[in-house]
Amino acid sequence: MAEFKVVVADPETGETFQREIDGQDANRFLGRDVGDEIGGDAVGLPDHTVEVTGGSDETGRPMREDVSGTRLKELLLEGGVGFKPSREGERKRITVRGREIADDVAQINVSVVDGEGDVAAAFEDDE
């Protein structure tokens, strides 16, 4: 059974909220890619739509939008998701995860893209 920690970002206020989901709510995320939009009722926001913006697996490897599937892949990166160079021209081989959500993913990052009502109020009501 899938179990995820979901980090919900509200771009209007700049706040983030965490929620742990499992069961049917977690199954709604399985097989989705980074960039897909999902109904917010999976994370407790029934009047909103959320977009998957990224995530990471249990070892902290980030999901990259340009790697297909759920597999792990070593990339030589100059920057971007997974590596921030400390000097100009620096490159490093980094292991990243593909863009599709599977059981290996531990955390999913989503952003609210559409909906009515206050996101913070919806999360305070659940606590």
Could you tell me the residue ranges of all domains in the chain? 3-114
Tokens of 52: 């998957």
Q: Are 122 and 41 in contact (CB under 8 A)?
A: no
Average of per-residue pLDDT values in the chain: 90
- pLDDT at 127 exceeding the cut of 60: no
Dump pLDDT digits (tens) for 57-69: 999 999 999 999 9
> Does residue 126 have a pLDDT over 80?
no
Q: Are the CB atoms for 110 and 53 separated by under 8 Å?
A: yes
Token match 């030589």: residue?
Answer: 76
Lowest mean pLDDT among 19-23, 94-98, 115-119: 115-119
CB 91 within 8 A of CB 75: no
Q: Taking a C-beta distance cutoff of 8 angstroms, is the pair 72, 53 a contact?
A: no
Asked whether residue 71 carries a pLDDT value surpassing 60, the answer given is: yes
Residues 50, 15: Cα–Cα separation, whole Å: 14
- Note the pLDDT tens digit of each residue in 82-110: 889 999 999 999 999 999 999 999 999 99
Tens digit of each residue's pLDDT (9 = 90 or more) over 3-20: 999 999 999 889 999 999
